[in-house]
C-alpha cells in the first residue's frame, strides 16, 4: 500500500504493446490495501495479462462484490467501467451485464467471503449458466475488512491470528466450479506471478465460464504459523501440475517453467497455449481425472495449482439462449417494438 500518488512521469524506454499502450494505461487508482497484500500482486498480474493480450481497456467491464478483493477492480484498468456491487451478488450483476452486451470482456473479481460464504449460490449458478467471463477469487480464508474472522474456505484445523480454531470443513471453489460446469478452471498463488499471468491470459482468451482461484495470503490476519493460507505454508504445499505459456501470433511471453513434456493448444482468439506438464499423469482436458486428482492431492495436504481443466469447445450462455450476434443493448426501437400492427392481431385473438 502507498498513500503517495503515482508519479505521472514514465520511463522513456517503457514497453509498449501492439495497441501502443504501456502498463500504465492498464493501471487504476492507488491501492488502499495493506503493504504486501497478495491481492495487489493479482491486480498486477491482471494488468500484465491485459497488456500482453493487447486488450483495449475500455472493452473490459470489471465487476466485484464487497470486501478487500472486491475493492481491487478500482486499482486496475482505470479506463474500464467498474461496478462494485452488493456483497456476494456480483455474479448476478455480471450475468445481466453480459446479457446486455456480449461483446465486452467481463472480469469478475471476488473473494472467499464474497463467493464461498454469502455469495456461494450466485457463484455456482452463474458458472452453471455458462456466463462468458473471467471469474477470479482472491482467496485468503479470512474476512479482512472486519478484522480476521474465518471464511468458508479456511481449512479445517487452521488457526486464526486471534487464536481461534476452525472446526468447520472448508469449501473448495475449484472443485465446485468443476462440478457445476466451468469450462476453464485454474488455481494459482499470488506469490507466483510466472504462473498467474499466463493462466489469466488463457482464461481471458477462453470463450466460456473461466474460473481461477488464487490463494492470496492476508498479511494482516492470515499469515501466521498455523494458517494454511500463509505465504510459507502455500509455498511448501503448492503442487503445480503444469506451466503455461501463451503464444500470440506476434510474440511469446517469456515464463519460467521446469522442462518436461509440452503440448500446444490453439485458443479461440488465434493465440496458442503451450502447456508444460509438470505432473506426468495429469491431463487438464479430462474433467473426471482432474476432479479425482484434486481430491487425492488435497487428502495429502497438497494444493494443486496450474491449469486444472479446460474444455476446448465451450458453449456460453448466449449460445444456450440463442441470442442474436449483435449486443442486445444496441438493438433499435424498430427491431424491438412490434408497433400497432402487432396489436391488431393481439386484440383480434382476445375477443
Partner 1 sequence: MPAIKSVNDFVVKFANVNGSGSASANEMFARSILRMGVPVTSRNIFPSNIQGLPTWYEVRVSGHGWLGRRGGVDLMAAMNPQTWDKDVASIDAGGYLFYDSSRAVPPSKFRDDINILRMPLTEICNATYHDPRQRQLFKNIIYIGALAQLLGIEAEVLEKLIGEQYKGKDALIAPNHQALRMGYDHARDNLANVCSLKIERANEVGERIFVSGNDAAGLGCVYGGATVAAWYPITPSTSVAEAFGKHCRKYRVDAETGKNKFAIVQSEDEISAIGTVIGASWNGARAFTATSGPGISLMQEFLGLAYFAEIPAVIIDVQRGGPSTGMPTRTQQADLLTCAYASHGDTKHVLLLPEDPRELFEFCAQSFDLAERLQTPVFVLEDLDIGMNDWLCEPFKWDDSRVYDRGKVMTAEELEAGKTFGRYLDVDGDAIPYRTLPGTHPTKGAYFTRGSSRDRFAKYSEEGPVYQDNMQRLLRKFDTARSLVPAPVITHAKPEGRTKCGVIYFGSTAPAVREALATLKADGVELDTMRLRAFPFPEAVTDFINAYDQVFLVEQNRDAQMRSLLVNECGIDPARFVSVLHFDGTPITARFIIGAIAERLSLSSKEAAE
- Residues forming the site for partner 1 (CB under 8 A): 56-59, 61, 63, 73-74, 78-86, 89, 91-101, 103-104, 121-122, 125, 129, 318, 321-325, 328-331, 333, 335-340, 342-343, 346-347, 350-351
Q: How far is the CB of 337 from partner 1 (least distance, A)?
A: 6
Q: How far is the CB of 21 from partner 1 (least distance, A)?
A: 10
Enter the C-alpha cell of residue 100.
Answer: 446486455
DSSP sequence for 2-28: --SPPPS---TT----TTS--GGGGB-
Side-chain-side CA neighbours of residue 42 (13 Å): 33
Residue 90: name the closest of 127, 64, 129 by CA. 64
Q: Which is nearer to partner 1, 76 or 278 (CB)?
A: 76
Q: How far is the CB of 47 from partner 1 (least distance, A)?
A: 15
Q: How far is the CB of 65 from partner 1 (least distance, A)?
A: 10
- What distance lies between CA 1 and its chain's CA centroid? 22
Q: Which is nearer to partner 1, 191 or 207 (CB)?
A: 207
Side-chain-side CA neighbours of residue 19 (13 Å): 14
Return the residue matching grid coordinates 433499435.
Answer: 332
Residue 325 CB contacts under 8 Å (≥ 6 apart), including other chains: none
Q: How far is the CB of 301 from partner 1 (least distance, A)?
A: 34
Do 6 and 27 meet the contact criterion of CB atoms below 8 Å apart?
yes
Q: Which is nearer to partner 1, 87 or 161 (CB)?
A: 87
Residue 202 host element (H or E): helix 193-204
Q: Which is nearer to partner 1, 256 or 333 (CB)?
A: 333
Q: Which is nearer to partner 1, 100 or 236 (CB)?
A: 100
Amino acid at each position: 500500500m502507498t498513500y503517495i500518488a503515482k508519479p505521472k512521469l514514465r520511463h522513456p524506454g517503457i514497453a509498449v504493446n501492439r495497441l501502443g499502450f504501456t502498463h500504465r494505461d492498464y493501471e487504476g487508482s492507488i491501492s488502499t490495501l495493506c503493504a504486501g497484500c497478495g491481492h495487489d500482486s493479482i491486480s498486477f498480474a491482471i494488468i500484465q495479462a491485459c497488456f500482453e493480450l493487447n486488450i483495449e481497456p475500455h472493452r473490459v467491464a470489471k465487476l466485484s462484490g464487497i470486501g478487500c478483493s472486491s475493492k481491487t477492480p478500482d486499482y486496475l484498468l482505470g479506463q474500464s467501467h467498474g461496478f462494485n456491487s452488493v456483497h456476494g451478488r456480483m455474479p448476478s450483476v455480471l450475468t445481466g451485464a453480459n446479457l446486455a452486451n456480449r461483446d465486452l470482456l467481463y472480469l469478475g473479481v471476488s473473494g472467499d467471503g464474497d463467493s464461498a460464504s454469502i455469495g456461494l449460490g450466485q457463484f455456482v449458478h452463474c458458472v452453471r449458466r455458462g456466463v462468458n467471463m473471467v471469474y477470479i477469487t482472491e482467496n485468503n480464508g479470512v474476512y479482512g475488512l472486519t478484522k480476521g474472522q474465518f471464511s468458508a474456505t479456511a481449512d479445517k484445523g487452521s488457526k486464526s491470528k486471534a487464536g481461534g480454531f476452525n472446526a468447520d470443513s472448508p469449501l473448495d471453489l475449484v472443485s465446485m466450479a468443476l462440478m457445476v460446469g466451468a469450462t476453464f478452471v485454474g488455481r494459482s498463488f499470488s506469490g507466483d506471478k510466472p504462473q498467474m499471468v499466463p493462466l489469466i491470459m488463457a482464461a481471458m482468451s477462453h470463450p466460456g465460464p473461466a474460473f481461477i482461484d488464487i490463494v492470496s495470503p492476508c498479511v494482516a490476519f492470515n499469515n501466521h504459523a498455523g494458517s494454511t493460507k500463509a505465504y510459507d505454508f502455500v509455498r511448501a504445499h503448492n503442487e503445480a501440475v503444469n506451466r503455461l505459456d501463451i503464444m500470440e501470433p506476434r510474440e511469446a511471453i517469456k515464463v519460467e517453467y521446469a522442462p518436461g513434456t509440452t503440448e500446444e493448444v490453439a485458443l479461440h482468439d488465434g493465440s496458442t497455449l503451450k502447456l508444460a506438464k509438470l505432473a506426468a499423469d495429469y491431463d487438464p482436458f479430462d474433467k473426471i481425472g482432474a476432479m479425482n486428482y484434486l481430491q487425492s492431492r488435497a487428502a495429502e495436504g497438497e494444493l494443486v495449482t496450474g491449469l486444472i481443466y479446460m474444455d476446448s469447445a465451450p458453449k456460453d450462455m448466449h449460445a444456450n439462449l440463442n441470442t442474436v450476434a449483435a449486443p442486445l443493448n444496441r438493438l433499435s426501437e424498430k427491431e424491438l417494438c412490434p408497433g400497432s400492427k402487432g396489436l391488431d392481431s393481439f386484440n383480434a385473438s382476445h375477443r
